[in-house]
Structure formats: C-alpha cells, structure tokens
C-alpha cells in the first residue's frame, strides 16, 4: 500500500528555524550551572521553613500550640491560620484554606508553618509543636463518595443524538466499568520557594510555579497585601507536568507568611517524601459505560458516566472532568452519544492538573471499548477504529465542533503500512496460538490507537497572553513573556520565533525569567498552549518593532549615509526622521522590506536594492527617537464553547497522531516488556523539530509509567506510603520500548497557531494508551486461545501492574486465592 502522507524525518531543516536550535539551557543543564529556586545563595538572616501537617485523612484540631517550638534555640517564628489575612483560595472555587484551622480533610493538610535559622533547629521546632487530634469519619473511595453524595460541583452532561434510543435498538452492545488510578507528577525539583521582604512591605517571590500570576495573587491575599506589592519570578522549573499549576501557590504563601512575620528572607523546599504526601495527583476515575454497535463494529451509541476523585477540595478537578468528557470520542465519530461527569469529594490530597488533564481518561475509555467491540464482532481492532474514524462526511463532535484539518484517516493508513501491522498481527497470532499450552511461554499483544487532542483552555478567558520585547543598540534582543520554562523548551521556541521575525541568529535573543512585573495577568503555562499564546504575543510585539524599523529603512534608502542620525544626532544638525502608520513589517507594495541574515533589505519595484545591518539600523532608530520596545498581546480567536449547554467551539485546533505498540507479558511475574512502538503525528510545521520529537517520545514514556507501573498505595489512615523512588515505580531506561520509532507528517495546511505549528506537550502522552490496549489484547488473546476462540472481554484497571496482568491471565486462580484469604483458610 502506498504511504498516503509524507513525513518530516528527512527534512528537519526545512521546517525548523536554524536547523533545530538546541534547548536554551542545554549547556547549563549539562554543566550543572542552571539555577533553580534552591540554588539561590542563602542570604544573611534567611530562614528555613517547615510544615506541620495532619497525619489523618479527616480530623478535628482539638489543640494547637506552637509556643514550645518558639523556645527551641534558632526557631524564630511560627504562623497558623489566625495569621493569614485571607485564608481561602482556589483556582476555580474558593474552597480551600491556606492553613487549616479547626479541621483537616486530608493527610498532609497544613496547620502550622515554622521558620528557623538552621535545618536542625527547624526539625526540632516542628517536633515541638503540640497538636492534639480527634479522628473523624472519612471517605476514601469514589463508591463511598457516591453513596454519601459527597460531590464537588454539579453533574455535567454533554450529548448529541439519542443515545438511549440507539442503545435500545443496537444489534450488539458491551458494557463495563473502567477503574483508572492516579499518578504522581514526580518532577525532579520538588515544590520550592524563596521569599525576600523588600522595602515598604513588598515581597519578591521566587517560586517553582507554572502560574506566577496565581502565585502572586495567593501570596498577596494571604499576607494582606495588594497584588502590586508582590512580584513573583519563575526562572525555570525542574519539571512540573501540571503539579505546579495551582499547588505551588499555597507553598509560596507559607514562606511568604514567615517572611512577613520575621522581616527576613524565607525558604521552603519540600523533600520528595513531603512533596508526594502533601500534593495532589492525577485524578483517579471510575467510568461506567454502555456502547451499542452493528455487526461490522460501527458504533451506534455510547452512554457513559464518569466519576472522578477530586480529593478534599476542588482545585482544578471540575475543569479536568470537563476535558475528560470532551475527549470521550477521541478519534471517532459517534452519532448518538451522552457522557456525564461528576467530581467526588474525598479525604485525599486535592487532586490536580497532570499532563493531558482529563483527556487521557476519556480516550482510555473509548479505546478500550473498541478493543471489546473487535472481539465481539470478530474483526481486527484496527479495522474497527478505521471504520469509526472521523471523516469529511462525519466530522462533528458530540459538543458540536467540526474536526477541521483532519489527517486521522491518513495517519491510520500510513502507520498501518509503516509498522507492518498486518504482517505482525499474523505473527503474533501464530506466536500466541503455538504457546497456548506452554505455561512458561510469554504472550504477546499489539494495538494501534489514535489521539485527537483539543488545544486551548476550555475556560475562554485563560486563552490570552502578553510579551515584552526589547531591542538593544548592539542588535541583541530581550524577550519577557508569561510562559514558564519547565524543561519543555518553550523559551527556545519563542526565541526561534523572535529570531526569525528580526532575521537574527537565535543566539542574539535572550529569554528573560518569567516575572509578574513585566508580564501581568498571565495564564498558567498549561494546556499545551505555552508557545501558541506567548509565542504569538511575542511575534506581535516584533511585528510592531519591525514596522517602525522597516519605515526607517525605507527613508534611509534615499538619504546619504553621512546625513543619518548616527552621524548627525549628536550635533542636532539634521531633522529627525519621523515614522508613522502605513508601513508594515514587510514594508509597502512598492518597497518590500526583508529581515534576514542580520540585515534589513529594501527592494523597490524598479529592482533597486538597499541593505543595512540590523544593529546599524537599530542604532539609527534610537538616535531618531524611534521606539525599540513593544508589548504584544494575543487572545486566541474563534473560541465559543458554552459550558452550560456543553456545545460550541471548545478548541482552536486538534493535534492528531497514531501509535502502534507491541508488548510481551511474562506469565509468571506479570512483567510487561514493550517490544516495539511506532508513532506518527501531525504537529503542523514545528517551530523546533528536535524539541517536538523530545516531547513526543518523552510524553509517551511518561504515559507508559502511569498506565503500567506507577501505583499509588495508601495506608489504612489515608497516608500515601508509596512516596519515594524506592516504592513508586516510574519508567527507567529498561522500560523504554526496545524499538522506538517516531516521525511527523508534512502539514502545511495548519494556519491556526503561530507559524503553523501545533502543540506537542500533552497529546503524545495519550498515545501511550496503545501500550495498555496492547496488554489487554495479549491477555484476551491468551484467554481466547484457552477457551477455543470464544471472546474473552477481560477488564484491566489502570495502571496495569504486574499483579493485575497476572489476574487478567488467570482470574480463576486468583478467585480461589482471594476466597482462601478472605476465609483465612490456605
């Protein structure tokens, strides 16, 4: 079969600025010179901060006394709820105390903050704080929350067609429950902040946060200050993945309260154990579904009820649920569909954003359903996927948005050919059949899934950004935006955009730390929109500066060089050049201006050419009092999603891709080996090919961890006990696919985002669902071979741990063992 799409693998330099410039911090990372929050030198008098928090899932604070701590030499101060000026916060609902007062609702909820001169004194001070607790009844499962009607927010419904009616008449149906566990962000840099008191009561906050504006606001409110009295700066983050979108804000407030009380700098850096115990995770989900389809596997109706565990407070869980509902279709057109979602309130740490937000939950559901449909109708799952895939005549989602620039059918067909799917399917079928009676032989599975990930915040007002661009007289540029660099390379991408606008090498562009005094009221760096929003704002600022420089270059063309301002301004002998409207960054119809190769070239209609060095033009602009700075603002256009009706244009565009994964399962240990992965994605015209490929492959591996090994385990009191690398298994090099191929397609038709690019941050993670569906394929194949080909629809919770894999392969044995354990008879 002919490959229906061209790929970028051999044409990197055609679509990447300056041949894919490296990450802006790559050298400093490798040499150990990159500065993170806790790398800032300790100042004289600076205090270390520590937290006193609840050891119970739900408890009443009977007595809290910090006085004994203050008697410890070196302990300077302590703050409690009574010291907080505005003791409630929340990104969507204001429902969470910064410091709990009378009652705590999860293990890790803070009741006091201690500041001390040394870490040793701090440890003694924390231990000296007296807290008397009264344990209260708690809710720690989604089922218990449903029974108690313990909910956050209201029930959400998004629907199209008549799901109930179509289900009633569908020739075939499947139904089931999908259990999806949470996951820890496991960023290498834990939550960290340093706060410096400044004159006149001001605070300077250096925080490891994805959302400097929210951190600024929460700190100001907690300390009783105006927003303008607090500056939040985020130079870089050592990872975040959503875990620092909202939850960095109260961490900053704790240190700020100590700094305000003491008048001394204050530093709070959580250990990995503290961080994992205190902070929220990816929301666990429980999904119940019914799906009707015809004999070919065409989906006729889908009805699903999604419940999520939001933890003790709202955080971002309602928005996460909304995105889960919006992605329940994934790549597939379903005429009759109803999806409902309800966030449950439990006594766990408030769960929060995680790469993919709620999208992976909806996608996991529909991809699992398709695997079941294929088993029931006796077709290959890929054929069922291609049958249901969005196409030109079936391109309206269940929330009423058209799937534009749709490459899904071509992506499916191309990867099928590239990865030799049909050949490998037959080889795997033969492999499994030959080893049916060999209990020592591993079993293999293969699955090819898709992603159609919507890019935009679904809360419309968050889709805005700004940028400050300063051009200096040596021809170099400083750029400040609201985007936070957390390893993903957003600074490198924006630097490439700015460099291209001015025709300069990327080395001439310096990205500045993100600071709320330069870029106010910014949105979090999240939802894969960092480059889209902030890069577009920077491009607009550049266009304004280029327009003025172009107008100056056009005038300089007809003025003798000895009369330019660089020669005469000091003496004031020549009139200034005044530039006005009417000239764009590319000049006029009669006089075209190009910024390239460090020069600015004017080409007139007659063919005459005038060229001047960029730095020389900038110096002349300065002497003509022409502004060399500009502030660009960008608001994402054409968004119109109505949250009340659940209908409208929720996203600016969709990032699309497909992945085929092959796995091998050990029948004795349940170990999963990923033998081979092939990925093909549409990322438009990448701003930086190398960084995008890093996002594709890195996001995929991170998703594999969530789907297979990253199991959160809590004790009987609600405390996380898998809170370190020794007990929480993230992917290592041995877990990566033995063969790992990834490529991007040519897509010149995307015009929605800056420079025709598409977001690459979150979508690749969802492609790792193909590993989980391949595991299910292997288990169901083994079961079918054992039961004379009869369809075996084996449920498999996420993560598919070794134990769960073994239970899927041999549920009868585990049923006997479980019965023996419950009865106490072995």
Q: How many other β-carbons are positioned within 10 Å of the β-carbon of residue 262?
A: 17
Q: And the tokens for 217? A: 């606001």
Active-site annotation holds for 762: yes
Contacts of 282 (CB under 8 A, 6+ apart): 182, 183, 184, 185, 351, 354, 706
Alpha-carbon distances of 344 from 8, 97, 714, rounded to whole Å: 44, 19, 18
Distance of CA 685 to the CA centre of its chain: 21
CB 265 within 8 A of CB 47: yes
CA 712 – CA 351 distance, rounded (Å): 13
| Interior angle at CA 544, CA 756 and CA 611, nearest 5 | 90
| Catalytically annotated residue among 367, 594, 710, 762 | 762
Distance from C-alpha of 231 to C-alpha of 209, rounded to nearest angstrom: 13
Q: What is the DSSP letter of 533?
A: I
Helices (H), 709-794: 763-767, 769-786
3-class SS letters over 713-729: CECCCCCECCCCCCCCC
Which residues, 6 or more positions from 300, have their beta carbon under 8 angstroms from its beta carbon? 166, 167, 169, 170, 292, 293, 294, 335, 336
DSSP state of 4: S
CA distance 614 to 607: 21
Tokens matching residue 60: 């009443």
Q: What residue spans of 283-420 are helical by DSSP H?
A: 317-326, 359-377, 381-388, 408-418
In degrees and rounded to multiples of 5, residue 434 shows phi and psi of -70, -20
Tokens of 644: 């009340």
Q: Which residues are catalytic?
A: 762
């Amino acid at each position: 079969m002919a490959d229906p799409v061209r790929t970028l693998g051999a044409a990197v330099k055609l679509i990447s600025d300056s041949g894919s410039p490296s990450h802006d911090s790559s050298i400093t990372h490798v040499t150990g010179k990159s500065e993170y929050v806790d790398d800032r030198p300790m100042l004289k008098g600076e205090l270390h901060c520590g937290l006193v928090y609840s050891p119970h899932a739900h408890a009443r604070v009977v007595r809290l006394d910090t006085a004994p701590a203050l008697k410890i030499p070196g302990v300077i101060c302590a703050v409690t709820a009574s010291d907080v000026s505005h003791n409630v916060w929340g990104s969507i609902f204001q429902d969470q105390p910064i410091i709990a007062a009378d009652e705590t609702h999860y293990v890790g909820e803070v009741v006091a903050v201690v500041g001390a001169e040394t870490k040793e004194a701090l440890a003694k001070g924390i231990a000296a704080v007296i807290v008397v607790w009264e344990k209260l009844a708690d809710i720690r499962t989604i089922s218990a929350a449903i029974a108690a009607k313990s909910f956050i927010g209201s029930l959400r419904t998004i629907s199209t067609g008549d799901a109930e009616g179509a289900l009633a008449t569908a020739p075939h149906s499947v139904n089931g429950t999908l259990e999806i566990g949470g996951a820890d962000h496991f960023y290498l840099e834990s939550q960290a902040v340093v706060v410096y008191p400044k004159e006149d009561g001001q605070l300077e906050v250096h925080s490891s946060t994805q959302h400097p504006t929210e951190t600024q606001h929460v700190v100001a409110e907690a300390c009783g200050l105006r927003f303008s009295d607090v500056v939040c700066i985020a130079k870089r983050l050592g990872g975040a993945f959503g875990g620092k979108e909202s939850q960095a804000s109260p961490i900053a407030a704790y240190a700020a309260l100590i700094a305000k009380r003491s008048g001394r700098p204050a530093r709070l850096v959580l250990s990995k154990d503290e961080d994992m115990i205190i902070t929220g995770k990816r929301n666990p989900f429980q999904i119940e579904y019914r799906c009707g389809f015809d004999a070919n596997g065409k989906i006729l109706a889908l009805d699903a009820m999604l419940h999520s565990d939001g933890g003790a407070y709202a955080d971002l869980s309602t928005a996460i649920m909304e995105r889960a509902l919006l992605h329940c279709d994934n790549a597939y057109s379903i005429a009759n569909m109803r999806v409902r979602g309800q966030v449950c309130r439990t006594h766990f740490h408030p769960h929060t954003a995680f790469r993919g937000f709620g999208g992976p939950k909806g996608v996991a559901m529909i991809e699992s359903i398709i695997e079941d449909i294929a088993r029931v109708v006796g077709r290959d799952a890929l054929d069922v996927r291609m049958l249901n895939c969005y196409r030109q005549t079936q391109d309206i989602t269940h929330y009423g948005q058209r799937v534009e620039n749709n490459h899904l059918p071509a992506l499916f067909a191309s990867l099928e050919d590239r990865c030799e799917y049909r050949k490998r399917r037959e080889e795997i079928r033969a492999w499994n059949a030959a080893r049916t009676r060999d209990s020592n032989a591993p079993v293999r599975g293969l699955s090819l899934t898709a992603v159609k990930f919507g890019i935009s915040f679904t809360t419309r007002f968050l889709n805005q950004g700004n940028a400050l661009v300063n051009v200096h007289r040596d021809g170099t540029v400083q750029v400040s935006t609201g985007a936070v660099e957390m390893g993903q390379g957003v600074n490198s991408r924006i630097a490439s955009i700015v460099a291209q606008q001015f025709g300069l090498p990327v080395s001439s562009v310096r990205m500045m730390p993100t600071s709320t005094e330069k870029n106010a009221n910014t949105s979090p760096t999240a939802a894969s929109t960092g480059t889209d929003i902030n890069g577009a704002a920077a491009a607009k600022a550049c266009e304004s500066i280029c327009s003025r420089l172009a107008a100056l270059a056009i005038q300089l063309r007809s003025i003798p060089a000895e009369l330019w301002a660089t020669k005469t301004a000091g003496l004031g002998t020549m009139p200034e050049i005044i530039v006005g409207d009417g000239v764009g960054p590319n000049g006029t119809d009669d006089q075209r201006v190009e910024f390239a190769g460090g020069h600015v070239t004017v080409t007139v209609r007659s063919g005459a050419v005038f060229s001047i060095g960029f730095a020389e033009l900038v110096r002349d602009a300065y002497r003509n009092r022409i502004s060399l700075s500009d502030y660009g603002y960008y608001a994402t256009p054409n968004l119109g999603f109505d949250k009340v009706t659940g209908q409208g244009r929720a996203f600016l565009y969709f990032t699309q891709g497909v992945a085929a994964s092959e796995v091998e399962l050990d029948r004795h240990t349940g170990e999963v080996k990923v033998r081979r992965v092939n990925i093909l994605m549409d990322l438009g015209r990448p701003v930086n090919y190398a960084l995008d490929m890093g996002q594709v492959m890195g996001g995929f591996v991170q998703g594999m961890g969530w789907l297979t090994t990253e199991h959160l385990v809590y004790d009987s009191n609600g405390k996380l006990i898998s809170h370190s690398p020794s007990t929480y298994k993230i992917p290592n090099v041995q877990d990566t696919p033995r063969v790992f191929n990834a490529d991007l397609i040519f897509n010149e038709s995307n015009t929605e985002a800056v420079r025709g690019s598409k977001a690459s941050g979150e979508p690749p993670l969802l492609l790792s669902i193909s590993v989980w569906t391949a595991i299910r394929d292997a288990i169901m194949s083994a079961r079918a071979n054992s039961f004379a080909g009869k369809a075996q629809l084996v449920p498999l919770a996420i993560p598919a741990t070794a134990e769960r894999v073994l239970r899927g392969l041999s549920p009868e044995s585990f049923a006997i063992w479980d019965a023996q354990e419950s009865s106490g008879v072995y």
